[in-house]
Structure 1
Amino acid sequence: MRIDAHQHFWARARGDYGWLETIEAVKPIRQDYYPADFEAIRARHGIDRTVLVQAAPSVEETEYMLGLADATPWIAKVVGWVDFEDATHRRHLERWSHHAKFSGVRPMIQDIADTDWMLRPDVQWGYAAVCALDLTFDALGLPRHLDNFLRLFDRYPKMRVVIDHCLKPEIRNDAFDDWAVKMASIADKTGAFCKLSGLGTEAKPGWSAATLRPYAEHVINSFGPSRVMWGSDWPVINLNGSYDSWRAAAEEIVKPADAARIFGGTAKEFYRIA
C-alpha cells in the first residue's frame, strides 16, 4: 500500500484559512484544492491512500474534512483541530473518536508566538484527552520548539506522536548541526514518529535531492524506517517545487530496503489504516 501521509484540501470560501489569505508568500497556492484536483497526481504515483491534515484553526474545518473523507474512499484518515485553550472542546474529540476516519489533532504551534505555549498548564487537558481517547498528535513546529517537544513527549509517553515536516530545518540557511542533535535526541529518548515531508519548502529555490539528502538521511537514520513516513505536503509543496519533484527526490534518497516502510508501511501502522 502506497500512502501519502500528509496532504491538504481547502475551499477558500469557507473563510477560516487566515494564513492563506494574508501571507503574501503563499499567494501562488491561494486557490481551492479538492479531491478531484488530486486524482491525476494520485494515479501518476500509484498512491492508494492519503492522510488529510488540517489547514485552519477551526472545528468547522475538521467537520468539512470528515465530510470529504466520507465521500472519498482513498482518504484514509483525517487529522483535525481543536482549541487547546478551551477544555470544553474535549467534547469534539469524544464525538469524532467514533468516526472511523478520524485519527487525531494538530494544533498550529508553529504560528504561536510563545515558544512555551505547549507547556502551559491550561492546555495540558488536550494531550491528556488525546492519550485517553487513543488518538494521534501531529507535532507542527519549528526548530525553536525542539527542546519543548522533547519535554512534552517525555511528559506524555503514551501519546501517539508524529513530528510534521522534520520540524522544518532551515535548509536554505544550511542550519543543520543544532537541529540534527536535537532531532536525534527526540528519536533516542521518545517513541515519536517523524514525517519525511516539507523539506523542499525549507530549501532555496532550485533544490535537488542532493540538497535535501543530509536532512532526510539524518531523520531516517535517527528514527529508523519503522518510525518514518513520507508525505507530500501538497499543495504547499507547490510553493517551492512540486509533488513530482519531491516524490522523485525522496525515491532517490530512500534506500530500496526501506521504501516499503517509508512510503506506506509506517503510515499504515501509525494511523491504523485498514
Structure 2
Amino acid sequence: MEQIDAHQHYWNPARGDYDWMPNDNPVLARTYGPADLAPELAAYGIGRTILVQAAATVAETEYMLGIADATPTVAGVVGWVDFERPEDLAVLRRLAGHPKFLGVRPMIQDIPDVDWMLREDVQWGFRALSDLGLTFDALGLSIHLSNFLKISKLYPDLRIVLDHCMKPEIRGHSPGVFGPWADGMSRLATETHACLKLSGLVTEAREDWTVEDLRPYADHVIAAFGPTRIMWGSDWPVCRLRGEYADWRRAAESLLSGLAEVDRARIFGGTATEFYQITPHRAV
C-alpha cells in the first residue's frame, strides 16, 4: 500500500498573503518547495502527499495547483475559497475541474467569531462542497468541536476530515483541558462519519516534548475513530517549530507501534487514499 503524507505545505512568503506568518520567524518565514521535502519523503518511502492551503486566498490555491502540476509527488491540493462571497461558487466550480483539486479548508481557527461556520450566509459553501463531491478540511480548536458536530450532521454527505486532532492544548495538559476535548472528539467519532488527521500534535506540545506527552491524545483518537478513519500527516514545515520531519514521523511510529501492520498501513496511507479518492500511482 502506498504511503501518503496527508498534510503538508509549500509556500513562498514573498507572495505576501500569509497573514498569520511572523515575518521574523526563522523557521517559518522562508520559502519551502518540493526539493526541500523530497529527501524526507524518500527516507520513509512516502510516495505522495496532500498539499494544503496556508493562505486565505484563491491566488494561493492556484499557486499550489501550479506546483502540483509540476510535482508528481503531490497527489492533490486542498485549497481555499471565500465562504463569505456566494459568487465564489463559480470559482469553486472552476477549481473542481482541475484533476488535483480535492477540496477546501477555511481557516476557521483564525476567525474571531466562534460560530462563523453556522452563519446562514456561508452555508452555500458547505452545500457546494457536498454537491460537487469535494472534501472539507476542518481546521479549528477545541472550542469549535460542537459546531463541527453540527455541520457534520447538517451535511451528512460532506466528506469531512478533522485537521491536527483539533489542536488539543497538550502543553497545558490537565484533566480540565483534556476532558472536554476528549468528549468532543468522541462525539464526532460516534455521531458522524468524519475522518481525522493524526498531525499537528507536536506543535501543541512543549518545546521539550516527549512521545509520552502525546500518547494520551493519540491513544484517545485511535480508540475513538479507529485506523480506517485516521490518516497521518506531517504538517511540514510547521512541525519544524518543535522538531524535524523525522522527529514527528518516529514519534508517530512509536505511538502506533501497538497496532497491527494492516492498521498502521491504513493510517500511513490507506485512509488518505480512500478519503481523498486518490487514484493509484502509476510509475512512468
TM-score by length of 1: 0.97
Helix, strand or coil for the counterpart of 1:207?
Answer: coil
> Residue 155 of structure 1 aligns with which residue?
154
Supply the distance in 2 between the matched residues of 1:12 and 1:199 (Cα, whole angstroms). 24
**How do residues 222-237 of structure 1 correspond to structure 2 at under 5 angstroms?**
222-237=224-239
Distance 1:208 1:48 in 2: 28
Which residue in the other structure is 2:216 paired with?
214
Aligned equivalents of 2:223 and 2:172: distance in 1? 22
Aligned twin of 1:97: 96
Q: Structure 2, unaligned stretches of length 5 or more?
A: 280-284
Q: Secondary structure at the match of 2:46?
A: coil
CA contact (8 A) 2:58 2:80 kept: yes
Whether 2:272 is the aligned partner of 1:270: answer no
Q: Structure 1 counterpart of 2:16, which letter?
A: G
Q: Cα deviation per residue 1:44-93 (whole Å; 9 max; x = unaligned)?
A: 11110100000000000000000000000010010000000001111111
- 2:246 maps to 244
Which of residues 190, 202, 227 in structure 2 aligns to 1:200?
Answer: 202
Q: AA paired with 2:250?
A: A
The aligned amino acid for 2:181 is W
How many residue pairs are counted as aligned between the two chains? Answer: 272
Q: Which moved more, 1:107-116 or 1:26-35?
A: 26-35
- Stretches of structure 1 lacking an aligned partner (at least 5 in a row): none
Measured in 2, the distance between the counterparts of 1:76 and 1:134 equals 17
Give yes or no for contact 1:20–1:27 (8 Å, CA) kept in 2.
Answer: no
Contact persistence 2:167–2:201 (CA under 8 A): yes
Is the 2:48–2:73 contact (alpha carbons within 8 Å) kept by the matching residues of 1?
yes
Q: Which residue of 1 aligns with 2:129?
A: 130
* 1:19-68, Cα deviation, whole Å (9 max, x unpaired): 1145x6x5422100011111111111111010000000000000000000
Residue matched to 2:15: 14
The alignment partner of 2:87 has SS state of helix
- Can you list the C-alpha shifts for 1:97-148, whole angstroms capped at 9, x where unaligned? 1111100000000000110000000000000000010000000000010111
**Which amino acid counterpart does residue 142 of structure 2 have in structure 1?**
P
Aligned partners of 2:6 and 2:231 also within 8 Å: yes
Kindly indicate which of the two structures has a greater share of residues assigned to helix. 1
Report deviation, 1:200.
0.3
Identity of aligned residues (%): 58
The structure 1 segments of at least 4 consecutive aligned residues displaced by more than 6 Å after TM superposition are none
Q: Which amino acid aligns with 1:165?
A: H
d(CA) in 2 for partners of 1:244, 1:206: 16
